Amino acid sequence: MAAAAVQVFATEEAVANGLAKYTSDLSKKFIHRRGAFTVVLSGGYLIKSIRKLLEPPYVDEVDWAKWHVFWVDERVVHKTHPDSNYKLAYDGFLSKVPIPPKHIYAINDSLSADDAADDYELRLKQLVKSGVLDVSTTTGFPRFDLMLLGMGPDGHLASLFPKHHLLRENQRWVAFTKDSPKPPPVRITFTFPVINASAHVAMVVVGTGEVDAVGRALGRPDSSSDLLPVQMVTLEDGEFIWFTDKEATSKLGSLYRCRNRFQTLLKRIGMGSFTGSWFRKSKG
């Protein structure tokens, strides 16, 4: 059973540095262990947050040829459309590193939403068969090495929105929606069982836009039956780690901040980690 861990950095710049080191360390670990590193990206601010990977020392250290890149969600638009998460990632990140194009798994943009979801799921199944993608021995869902995710002000992650029927999807690996409350409405998305099978999930939230959702997600346990989507992540056997800054956590109580400072101190003197005890526990 693993608890969510929280790292609160002083600035957005420090978050970007911490995230680059975390990603680069995991890249080394998985490439050493299994010869590949499967990385899932989201849209939104995340692509800006991974910019430090494009700079030394990381840009030279990372074995880009072994990366396999996926999207946790994608808008069903052409890859050249300004709404495309692929375009956002390609322009801001992927075009600047030597990842083999055949390792970049963009949505098939010539298909309708339902066919695109089927097609993406089928491609994931083929990658499981060929051994590129791990699989959860408990649930049979694909197990990605690292998901780099963002969260919206309503607590959504991927295209899993509050009160949406896709929150309950537990069979499909990739599902589609035609009524996303965040435009554009037509999207495909990984489902919760796929997110929950991950080995590592980094939830990157900076600035003031999501303070209320961060306050709910990281504050005292929420007894409400209306959990935010981000509160519904329960990794089976993985690490869920928040990369946040002071602004994003500014609505958390002073007790939380004291506790976090205390844990930072313990960590510095080698006596503890950032692991949160009153955060949601993941299922064992």
Cβ nearer to ligand 6PG, comparing 169 with 263: 169
Closest CB 70 distance from ligand 6PG, rounded Å: 12
Cβ nearer to ligand 6PG, comparing 73 with 121: 73
Cβ nearer to ligand 6PG, comparing 158 with 195: 158
CB 126 within 8 A of CB 205: no
Q: How far apart are CA 232 and CA 235, in angstroms?
A: 9
Q: How far apart are CA 111 and CA 74, in angstroms?
A: 13
- Residues interacting with ligand 6PG, by CB under 6 A? 42-46, 73, 75, 85, 150-152, 156-158, 182
Closest CB 269 distance from ligand 6PG, rounded Å: 34
Say whether 232 sits in a helix, a strand or coil. Answer: helix
Cβ nearer to ligand 6PG, comparing 177 with 263: 177
Q: How far apart are CA 233 and CA 190, in angstroms?
A: 12
Strands (E), 85-170: 134-135, 142-143, 146-150
Of 29, 203, 187, 32, the closest CA to residue 114 belongs to: 187
Closest CB 31 distance from ligand 6PG, rounded Å: 26
Closest CB 139 distance from ligand 6PG, rounded Å: 23
Cβ nearer to ligand 6PG, comparing 27 with 42: 42
Q: How far apart are CA 108 and CA 43, in angstroms?
A: 17
Residues 6+ apart with CB under 8 A from 119: 107, 108, 111
Closest CB 172 distance from ligand 6PG, rounded Å: 17
Cβ nearer to ligand 6PG, comparing 36 with 204: 204
Q: Which residue number is nearest to ligand 6PG in terms of Cβ?
A: 44
Rg (the chain; Cα; Å): 18
Closest CB 95 distance from ligand 6PG, rounded Å: 19
How far is the CA of 117 from the CAs of 90, 99, 106, 133, 179, in angstroms?
21, 24, 11, 18, 15
